[in-house]
Amino acid sequence: MDLSFVILIEMLYAVASLVLISAGLAVVFGMMKVINLAHGEFMMMGGYATITAVGLGVNVFVAMLVIAPIVVGLIGLIVERLVIRHLYGRLVDTMLATWGLSLVFIGIATMIFGNTTTGISTPIPGFAVGDYQINGYNFFIIVVSIALVIAMFAVLRGTRAGLIARGTMQRSDMAAALGYSPDRIYMMTFFCGSALSGLAGAVLAPLVGLVPTSGGAYIAKAFITVIAGGPSLIAGLVSSATSFGLVSQIFTFAISPVIGEVALLIAAVILLRMMPQGITGRFFKGKM
Amino acid sequence: MSLNRRELLGGAAALGTAAMLPKAVMAAGTIQLGSILDTSGIFDAYGKPMDQAMRLAVKEINDAGGLLGKQVEVAAYDTQSDMALYSQYAQQLTRQDRVDVVHGGILSASREAIRQTMRKTKTLYFYNVQYEGGVCDRNLFATGVTPAQQVEVLVPYAMKKSGPKVHILAADYNYGQITARWIQKFVEDNGGEVVATDFFPLDVSDFGSTITKVQQTAPDLIVAPLVGGAHLSFFRQWAAAGMKDKIPLASTTMGVGNEHKVLTPEEGNGIMVAYNYSQELETAANTTFKEKWQAEYGDTTAIHELAVSTYQGIMLWAEGVRKAGSVERDAVIEALETGISIDGPAGKVTIDPQTHHATVDVHIMEFDNQGMTVIETLPQRAPIDTQAVCDLQTNPDDNTQYEIEI
């Protein structure tokens, strides 16, 4: 009984962390069609922003939930103005440019923070469930992911800004004809996407040892989740994160963590073979 | 003046030869020490202090009048954490600079990238790093500790403190695999039982499910030869789950690159390790070493196991040269094979003639407030793992890295 509860929490946690690491990419790649290979580095910078802010005496939750997204969002804004905006609609070129950016960010982070592992300890203590101890921070990650999905849904569905953003992504010429500047809207959307990546990096920072190359560990999973999710932003994100999270955790508990990772990749291959348009290309069509 | 192609080429060749001459002439006045380390890129946390230790050792030798009345000159190359550069710079060191000895290499992959070049060009090679053991090559001296040397002392100590049921969590490459086998052997030799062994690729940083699984097997002790920044997450997540005071941890790798300074005292305190060196060693040799380092670089926090191994490796080589009265490779190897020893910052280091590995003091330590407190010192542990497979006395032409079967 205790064990099944612990396993349930671990599975929810796996799904939640996939949602978290993919949300920023879902906006930047899913909505804007910019292949952001620097996504992992945006997360890495979110982690460093948190650690630096905590080092300066800021409360750890403020650092994670406010400072890191703003800092990384602003970095994203600069990058968008300098590089990305010249490349909209040129899928392959954005890939090359953002790959270069990722190398630049790794270099800068190495220069500033050095190439050693840093980190902060988790702000929430572990607790016991029957005979088992679990990491209290897992609950925090689950809560943050749920809040994130609800917030994304509310903004895109419920607000005028969300409507305009969605409209611009579909037909920027029509949005322009109606008097909205696509340039501005792309800029703001990229800002939001970067801020989400920063948030993810920040929230995961207390669980890992952070090095400037940490971003590489997330990028593959983020792309797999977003691509398998398909055209619908939120339904795609949640459905693919759930499928991959469950598959990898089932195999992790049944066999070993390595097999869990392998199972995730095999599941992705099978899923994309059967549904080349992603999960939401077949199910939940027309949903958000 | 008219010049045909043949004359031009001939002239150019002659000029080229002439240009190379002064270097060879110059080199006759000094002894050339080649160094090949990653002092930039992702392994620089290991390589930079090693480079500093190498320069400190050479400076000390030169200040004391050099070797055989000659000054030692350093030819150092930064391989930028790029394995391809190792083979390139190895060629440069051996064929162009024609150094008398090469010290360096960090990862096992980097050692294997240059070992054959050193052997072919008959350039003496020192590999001064803790590694998985088993390299058997007369041209190579490995002065770092190997798994059996650590595990042999760490496992009985940790089991005595906790209990007989052990769960192994290891990095999934040759170091982790080989070390896990040694842990298993010593656990069983000491009357214990390995309840489970899990391997993790180097980029795994999420250990949530592992922590649950460990609680299912309910061991008395965890031995964790995990490697690198991603694996550091395990120690953090373990403490976050509140497990740290329930099941004790021991590791053969944690702290080699000063990782214990990244963990907070709450996360790190009590983790058991066994190494050749700790900054907290209270010996006269270590105090003087730290003073010299302080005078040269101003800050001793960067000193780690691998840096001290490098320092000791160079001192062993220097001792060999003094004894041989020459820098010529075969003479130095023969001198080293007499079982030369030096007193380094980490204690006495002796060359084992049979394997060209080192017999060293191993210290059992526990993390305490981001330091490593020495609990017990076990003097002069022989490299028993490599000894089991390698005998350069009877088979001097051996050129293999053995996978040690236990």
Whether B94 is in a domain gets the answer yes
Range with the poorest average pLDDT among A154-158, A211-215, B114-118, B163-167: A211-215
- A158 vs A51, A99, A155, CA distance in Å? 34, 34, 5
Instruction: Please indicate, yes or no, whether residues B225 and B321 belong to a single structural domain of this protein.
Output: no
CB under 8 Å to A169, separation ≥6 — which residues?
A31, A32, A189
* Direct distance between the N- and C-terminal alpha carbons of chain A, in angstroms, rounded to an integer: 37
Residue A50, phi then psi, degrees to nearest 5: -65, -50
Rounded to whole angstroms, the Cα distance separating B374 from B365 reads: 4
Tokens of A203: 């929230």
Chain B within 8 Å of A125 (Cβ-Cβ)?
yes
Whether B162 is in a domain gets the answer yes
- Per residue in B32-72, pLDDT tens? 999 999 998 778 888 999 999 999 999 999 999 999 999 99
Averaged pLDDT score across all residues of chain B? 89
Rounded to whole angstroms, the Cα distance separating B366 from A164 reads: 60
Chain B within 8 Å of A5 (Cβ-Cβ)?
no
Instruction: Please indicate, yes or no, whether residues B119 and B108 belong to a single structural domain of this protein.
Output: yes
For residue B59, give its domain range.
25-145+280-359+389-401
Query: Which residues of chain A from 189 to 228 reach within 8 Å of chain B, CB to CB?
Result: 206-211, 213-214, 216-217
Cβ-count burial of B291 within 10 angstroms (0-12 exposed, 13-18 middle, 19+ buried)?
exposed
Whether A105 is in a domain gets the answer yes
Whether A178 is in a domain gets the answer yes
* Direct distance between the N- and C-terminal alpha carbons of chain B, in angstroms, rounded to an integer: 76
The residue among B244, B275, B306 that closes a domain is B275
Instruction: Please indicate, yes or no, whether residues B96 and B155 belong to a single structural domain of this protein.
Output: no
Rounded to whole angstroms, the Cα distance separating B119 from A266 reads: 44
Instruction: Please indicate, yes or no, whether residues B270 and B156 belong to a single structural domain of this protein.
Output: yes
Picking from A133, A208, A209, the nearest residue to B241 by CB comes out as A133
SS3 annotation, chain A: CHHHHHHHHHHHHHHHHHHHHHHHHHHHHHHCCCCCCCHHHHHHHHHHHHHHHHHCCCCHHHHHHHHHHHHHHHHHHHHHHHCHHHHCCCHHHHHHHHHHHHHHHHHHHHHHHCCCCECCCCCCCCEEECCEEECHHHHHHHHHHHHHHHHHHHHHHHCHHHHHHHHHHHCHHHHHHCCCCHHHHHHHHHHHHHHHHHHHHHHHHHHCCECCCCCHHHHHHHHHHHHHHCCCHHHHHHHHHHHHHHHHHHHHHHCCHHHHHHHHHHHHHHHHHHCCCCHHHHCCCCCC
Whether B154 is in a domain gets the answer yes
The residue among B275, B297, B314 that closes a domain is B275
Contact B212 A122 (CB under 8 A): no
CATH code of the domain covering residue B324: 3.40.50.2300
Contact B205 A137 (CB under 8 A): no
What is the structure's pLDDT at B399?
A: 93
Whether B313 is in a domain gets the answer yes
pLDDT at B10 over 80: no
Whether B264 is in a domain gets the answer yes
Residue B26: pLDDT band (50, 70, 90) is: very low
Instruction: Please indicate, yes or no, whether residues B251 and B163 belong to a single structural domain of this protein.
Output: yes
Instruction: Please indicate, yes or no, whether residues B61 and B128 belong to a single structural domain of this protein.
Output: yes
Positive or negative torsion for Cα A190, A196, A199, A203: negative
CB pairs under 8 A between A and B: 127
Per DSSP (E only), the strands in B22-177 are 30-37, 71-78, 101-104, 124-127, 135-137, 140-142, 165-171
Instruction: Please indicate, yes or no, whether residues B234 and B117 belong to a single structural domain of this protein.
Output: no
Tokens of B307: 């840096």
Three-state DSSP class for residue B262: coil
Residue of B247 and A258 predicted with greater confidence: B247
Nearest by Cα to B192 from B226, B170, B160: B160
pLDDT at B107 over 70: yes
Contacts of A253 in chain B (CB under 8 A): 209, 212-213
Chain B within 8 Å of A118 (Cβ-Cβ)?
yes
Contact A208 B199 (CB under 8 A): no
pLDDT at B25 over 50: no
- In the 8-state DSSP scheme, what is residue B107? S
Contact B236 A216 (CB under 8 A): no
Element (H, E) at B373: strand B371-381
Q: Which residue has the tokens 């656990």?
A: B187
Chain A within 8 Å of B27 (Cβ-Cβ)?
no
* Closest Cα in chain A to B230: A209
Residue B13: pLDDT band (50, 70, 90) is: low
Nearest by Cα to A70 from A235, A194, A218, A167: A194
Torsion, CA A15, CA A17, CA A22, CA A23, rounded to 10: 100
The residue among B275, B302, B330 that closes a domain is B275
Contact A126 B213 (CB under 8 A): no
Contact B242 A121 (CB under 8 A): no
Q: How many domains does chain A have?
A: 1
For residue A107, give its domain range.
2-212
Averaged pLDDT score across all residues of chain A? 91
Instruction: Please indicate, yes or no, whether residues B271 and B159 belong to a single structural domain of this protein.
Output: yes
Rounded to whole angstroms, the Cα distance separating B271 from B263 reads: 11
Whether A236 is in a domain gets the answer no
Instruction: Please indicate, yes or no, whether residues B328 and B342 belong to a single structural domain of this protein.
Output: yes
Rounded to whole angstroms, the Cα distance separating A228 from A244 reads: 10
What is the structure's pLDDT at B8?
A: 56
Could you tell me how far CA B323 lies from the centroid of its own chain? 24
Whether B110 is in a domain gets the answer yes
Instruction: Please indicate, yes or no, whether residues B270 and B200 belong to a single structural domain of this protein.
Output: yes
Helix axes A216-229, A233-254, angle to 10 degrees: 120
Three-state DSSP class for residue B32: strand
Tokens of B8: 């031009």
Region of B351 please: left (phi>0), alpha (psi -120 to 50) or beta: beta
Rounded to whole angstroms, the Cα distance separating B357 from B145 reads: 8
Residue type, B212: T
Residue B27: pLDDT band (50, 70, 90) is: very low
Instruction: Please indicate, yes or no, whether residues B105 and B132 belong to a single structural domain of this protein.
Output: yes
Q: What is the mean predicted confidence (pLDDT) over B198-223?
A: 89
Q: Are strands B221-223 and B165-171 parallel, antiparallel or unpaired?
A: parallel
Whether A256 is in a domain gets the answer no
Rounded to whole angstroms, the Cα distance separating A230 from B334 reads: 68
Which of A11, A134, A135 to mutate to probe the B interface, most B CBs <10 Å? A135
Contact A132 B45 (CB under 8 A): no
Q: How many domains does chain B have?
A: 2
Chain A within 8 Å of B229 (Cβ-Cβ)?
yes
Residue of A112 and A119 predicted with greater confidence: A112
- Taking a C-beta distance cutoff of 8 angstroms, is the pair B252, B278 a contact? no
Instruction: Please indicate, yes or no, whether residues B181 and B215 belong to a single structural domain of this protein.
Output: yes
- Per residue in B332-389, pLDDT tens? 999 999 999 999 999 999 999 999 999 999 999 999 998 999 999 999 999 999 999 9
pLDDT at A60 over 80: yes
